[in-house]
Amino acid sequence: MQGDDKDAGNRRVIGELSIDVTFFRFVEDELLPAIGFNSSEFWRGLEALIVDLTPRNRELLQIRDDMQEKIDDWHKSQGGSPWNHAEYAAFLKDIGYLQDSGEPFQITTAGVDPEIATIAGPQLVVPVGNARFALNAANARWGSLYDALYGTDVISEDGGQERGSSYNPTRGAAVIRYASDFLDRTVPLESGSHGDVSAYSIDKSSASAACIATMIDGSSSGFREPGKFVGYAAQGARRSYLFRNNELHVEVQTDPEHAVGKNAPGNVSDVVLESAITTIQDCEDSVAAVDAEDKVGVYRNWLGLMQGTLEASFDKGGREMTRQLNADRKFTAADGGELVLSGLSLMLVRNVGHLMTTDAILDKDGNEIFEGMLDAVVTSACVMANSRQTERLANSQSDNVYIVKPKMHGPDEAAFTNTLFGRVEELLGLGSNTLKVGVMDEERRTTVNLQECIRAVKDRLVFINTGFLDRTGDEIHTSMQAGPVLPKETIKAQPWINAYEDWNVDVGIRCGLPGRAQIGKGMWPKPDEMKQMMDTKQAHPEAGANCAWVPSPTAATLHAMHYHAVDVQQVQEALASRQLASLEDILTPPLGDPVSLDEKTIQDELNNNAQGILGYVVRWIDQGVGCSKVPDISDIGLMEDRATLRISSQHIANWLLHGITNKEQVMETFRRMARIVDEQNAGDPDYRRMSDDYDASIAFEAACDLVFKGCEQPNGYTEPLLHAYRRKLKAQ
């Protein structure tokens, strides 16, 4: 470094920036060498970006607060008046919350990879701060259907089909039958069933090779749609036959010497599905990154994924395992050429929103800079290293940087993201619109103005989705003063939810997303309930979503079958003429009548909310775990992150505000639920019990504050309090 740089304790001062030395060393020693970028140019450009854009970021946050204050005052002024949608909508327009939609338009995003533009399939979201999880997700592009079926409740354990410590041939036979039925539906033979095949082979008698099935009775059969066969491979006794259906690949592996394959029809040793087509490597809701040290851990893992060098070692069954990124999959194409398919899920990175700040860099006044700005610069720079790795296909064949941007409120904030991304492109010397953006439709002001939010980023948009959890948390906070909300399960049945889900798809289709961008749906929250997922989650592609979130690689493999059953492109074409969902329904808050709530209903709701809050917060604060499978009050494991926490804490805060409950009842519930959570975590050697000394437990204090200070939290977000209490614990 040149110039007037100097050290100040554990910080490095460059120009007007005071940089945490841990972050500084990461940038200087790891990031910049990986991308071949000049140090002085980087810091100078970063400083200019921060100085120029910080005032607008602050202004946008102030607008949020001002609007919420006006909405609160309006609801208070209504007293007990009956709900009047016309008056409410007129008020929201008057304050600029609800904006008029402009002329119809189509997004113009160009050069998008097919995994986003044209392939419909499952999507994973994973904390990039956890190297093992990040690698698992990246490697989840391909998954064993046999393993996914055998290890989950999709296959019943009745009739001798129990799971155990050793292989159960009866269960294995049920798995094989299920997989054969899937092949019959997906790549059907001209005659007969895959369950009656004795062998598969390749016929090379014509210019394009064909796959032939020899049946148990000695007859032969081709495939009903021979064009679905696209390639093959051989290694020793093992053969692979590759098919493509609805743009997704299915690899049928055969091996007469394999323990399973030798007894299976056609010697099929496995059916491998293209599973997690895309993965969001998350810097936001699923991580607990509260300071510069944490941020460096997150950035380092993302850089390692882009370089192809990330590894994770762990103990499994008493021996150490090292996980790396998968290699690409190579086949001989049906036409005789080489066919190379990526071994990895296409990776997007989720940055934080506009609200939070980070101590990785302080400005000239000693203020923490906005974390979202730093995320945009650093995560984009990390992607530049991807083009330098040569071990596998590039993450993006078009050298795009895919960034999912959460928690934006309305078109002006989307426009600010567009400006920020443009400045990052200038700083890093990237072409215009290299940074592609995913807009998460999870805040109420974004939902009701979705078309104009999309317009603000129309040249770089690649993704919109619905997120029921954050969206519900924002719904409760926005309408906090309107009255008491319904119990959580009842909220899910209110008209606004279905209208919101349909509105997202309707607006996305009208704005030209099909063929250019993803329209997504939210997470399946129960990682152990895969049969239930299989019975219900096909509704997402049937609703016109070309991606939907699942909680694990196994779930991705199972959910992939839904995209073989549903041609999402055809669904979207059919939905294009559907009437737009009801904005009136969307704007109707899920309010309830307090008289209808008996004491048991109230207490049960408090129990459920408090237990969920404590179960998540205690791991977040004490162990820095941002996303985990948390047992609920019925000991059913649920995937929890800050979005679920936002609902539960806002829900109790609302009931406190409107007198459905009181502080004494809530505190008694928290203490009782803390004892339950302590017992649920009794097997964790790193766990810190809360109930031994409530006053000494930082996690317990944080959980209570999330509720009792819930009304004053910006938009009901949990991050400010979580970060403060996690920092407090780390300082001990």
Which regions of the chain are under pLDDT 50? 1-4
Please give the structure tokens belonging to residue 179.
């997989």
Q: Which long-range contacts (CB under 8 A, 24 or more apart) does 4-13 make?
A: 11/362
Domains of the chain: 594-730 (1.20.1220.12)
CA 474-478-480 angle, 5° bins: 110
Q: Please choose, from the candidates 78, 482, 26, the residue with its C-alpha nearest in 3D space to the C-alpha of residue 296.
A: 26
pLDDT of residue 6: 58
Q: Which of 641, 678, 689, 726 is catalytic?
A: 641
Cα distance between the two ends of the chain: 35
* Contact present, 475 and 450 (Cβ < 8 Å): no
- d(C-alpha 601, C-alpha 596), whole Å: 9
pLDDT of residue 8: 59
* Contact present, 718 and 646 (Cβ < 8 Å): yes
* Helix, coil or strand: residue 630: strand
- d(C-alpha 371, C-alpha 16), whole Å: 17
- d(C-alpha 280, C-alpha 8), whole Å: 37
Active site includes 181?
Answer: no
| 595 Cβ neighbours under 8 A, 6+ residues apart | none
Burial class (CB in 10 A: 0-12, 13-18, 19+), 207: exposed
Task: Return the bridge partners of 466, or none.
Answer: 441
* Helix, coil or strand: residue 568: helix
pLDDT of residue 533: 98
For 180, other C-beta atoms within 10 Å of its C-beta total: 20
Q: Which long-range contacts (CB under 8 A, 24 or more apart) does 177-181 make?
A: 178/149, 178/154, 179/145, 179/146, 179/149, 179/268, 179/271, 180/265, 180/268
- pLDDT, tens only, 448-476: 999 999 999 999 999 999 988 899 999 99
The helix (H) or strand (E) run that includes residue 269 is strand 268-274
* Contact present, 687 and 614 (Cβ < 8 Å): no
Active site includes 641?
Answer: yes
Q: Which of 141, 323, 350, 455 is catalytic?
A: 350
pLDDT of residue 317: 78
Handedness of CA 695, 699, 701, 707 (dihedral sign): negative
Please give the structure tokens belonging to residue 274.
């293209």
Please give the structure tokens belonging to residue 598.
């008996």
In 312-424, beta strands by DSSP E: 312-316, 319-323, 329-333, 338-341, 346-350, 357-362, 368-370, 401-405
- pLDDT, tens only, 186-238: 999 999 999 999 999 999 999 999 999 999 999 999 999 999 999 999 999 99
Q: Please choose, from the candidates 440, 504, 547, 436, the residue with its C-alpha nearest in 3D space to the C-alpha of residue 108.
A: 436
Q: Please choose, from the candidates 499, 554, 543, the residue with its C-alpha nearest in 3D space to the C-alpha of residue 520.
A: 543
